[in-house]
Amino acid sequence: MKQGERAVFASKLGIILATAGSAVGLGNVWRFPSMTGQNGGASFILIYIACVLLLGLPCMLNEFIIGRRAQANAARAYERLAGGTPWRFIGYFGVFTGFLIAGYYVVVSGWCLQYVYASVSGDLTGNLTGDLAGDSKIISNYFDTFKADPLKPILWLVLFFALSHYIISRGVEKGIERASKIMMPLLFVLLVVIAVAACTLPGAGKGIQFLFDPDFSKIGGSVMLDALGQAFYSLSVGMGCLCTYASYFKRDTHLTKSALQIISIDSLIAILAGLMIFPAVFSTEVIDPGDGDGLVFKTLPYVFNKAFAAVPLVGNIIGVLFFALLSVAALTSLISLHEVCTAFFHEELNISRRRGALVVTIIGIIIGIFCSLSFYKTEIGLFGMSLFDLFNFVTGQIFLPLGGLLTCLFLGWYVPKRIVREEFTNQGTLRGRFFALYLFCVRYICPLAIALIFLHQFNLL
């Protein structure tokens, strides 16, 4: 379906599911639970939700407003509103960030596919003996050996990028929208099935309590700032992704309502991810929930196997479902990163969409290969970090908050208020009751909060 010359998402549901698909990803199932584990559980979740509403919502609206107003890829969208001033570089910066995130994101996505395969074939848990220390070592070694392999992870990441390429080259409505309409419900069903299975384990209550019974003594400065950063990452804010998707929204799409729906879905899925992980972890009574990044690829396969040991094969089936779920979540996010870059090449170089997608796929795979190889040869890196860790750190901790901060300043202080209000109220057809509150957040609260994240990250706070 076209709106003038430009593609649009055909339905309201399509808009919500595609954009929620971008937001829901490894950030929800991989990053959020490990952060919750490290930061003491329920109290972290409460602060996270406050950050999502106070910071994430206005920043998401910013990008919706810019994208729908300008009807162009991220780079040109900022350029159109910036009228030749240096503000226009925010959009280019977003496309650049998109490549870097896609490059390491696809590596982790490839690991998920390998784990689906290894859970089915029994490679992952087939050699376990029942001895606690020995078994967790076997699984831990499995992961370390696999990710440092020079070939296997690359084959999976190429396959993953090819899947994303296929969806993107089919277009906005037939590709992104249709795929999201299939994948998002599938993801939800998988999550609920695993969460229910995990919550009915003996001893699961302690995990549920960990998630919902806040211990306010755990709230310190760093917990609050971790929650802010995670809110950004999880909502895909700060690199033009939401802006690109919003350029496919219809003129009468209710931006505030859509943003609230997307944020609710993203938060619900993060909490459900906690509900499938912590009850299982606590029921085994042996694992420290604050295990960090290893939680998903080292701890969980072991935990599932042990927690469901009473009935043969159930642990394996849950493992397969879990990594399939993670792969689906990662794919809907990768296509959004892919789309930001594809729309850029397609429109800026005036080449066909398919060609644009191909250019992105080739560059993305090359970056992905280098990221993956940085586990094989640790000298592939910069500033004392492997390339993978560098891109993960620099994008999540610096580029996304920086993009969000600049966008707040741009929209709050540079773009005429009239334009912002017009877009917020769909050209005056909506009452826009929350406009003043929104503008206050964009002008003051968000820039201040994001500045705090930075000060914290550079140890100035």
Positions that interact with ligand PHE (CB under 6 A) = 22-23, 25-28, 101, 233-234, 236, 239, 241, 333, 336-337
In the complex with ligand PHE, the residue whose CB is nearer, 7 or 239, is 239
Residue with tokens 């690359």: 154
DSSP secondary structure letter of residue 218: G
| 236 vs 245: CA distance, rounded Å | 11
- Name the helix (H) or strand (E) containing 385: strand 385-386
In the complex with ligand PHE, the residue whose CB is nearer, 101 or 195, is 101
Minimum CB separation of residue 102 from ligand PHE in Å reads 8
Structure tokens at 337: 């990163």
In the complex with ligand PHE, the residue whose CB is nearer, 302 or 322, is 322
CB 214 within 8 A of CB 42: yes
Minimum CB separation of residue 318 from ligand PHE in Å reads 22
CB 211 within 8 A of CB 275: yes
In the complex with ligand PHE, the residue whose CB is nearer, 393 or 435, is 393
- Amino acid found at 84: G
Minimum CB separation of residue 100 from ligand PHE in Å reads 10
- Amino acid found at 432: G
CB 60 within 8 A of CB 52: no
Residue with tokens 């306010």: 216
Within its chain, how far is the Cα of 407 from the centroid?
Answer: 19
In the complex with ligand PHE, the residue whose CB is nearer, 195 or 335, is 335
In the complex with ligand PHE, the residue whose CB is nearer, 38 or 97, is 97
Cβ neighbourhood burial of 380 (10 Å; 0-12, 13-18, 19+): middle
In the complex with ligand PHE, the residue whose CB is nearer, 136 or 392, is 392
Instruction: Please state the φ and ψ torsions of residue 385, each to the nearest 5 degrees.
Output: -120, 150
Minimum CB separation of residue 105 from ligand PHE in Å reads 7
Minimum CB separation of residue 238 from ligand PHE in Å reads 7
- Amino acid found at 349: L
Cβ neighbourhood burial of 219 (10 Å; 0-12, 13-18, 19+): middle
| 2 vs 4: CA distance, rounded Å | 6
**Helix residue spans in 83-203 (DSSP H):** 89-121, 132-147, 152-169, 178-199
In the complex with ligand PHE, the residue whose CB is nearer, 81 or 95, is 95
Minimum CB separation of residue 224 from ligand PHE in Å reads 20
Q: In angstroms, how far apart are the furthest CA atoms of the chain?
A: 68
Minimum CB separation of residue 438 from ligand PHE in Å reads 22
CB 435 within 8 A of CB 417: no
Minimum CB separation of residue 308 from ligand PHE in Å reads 27
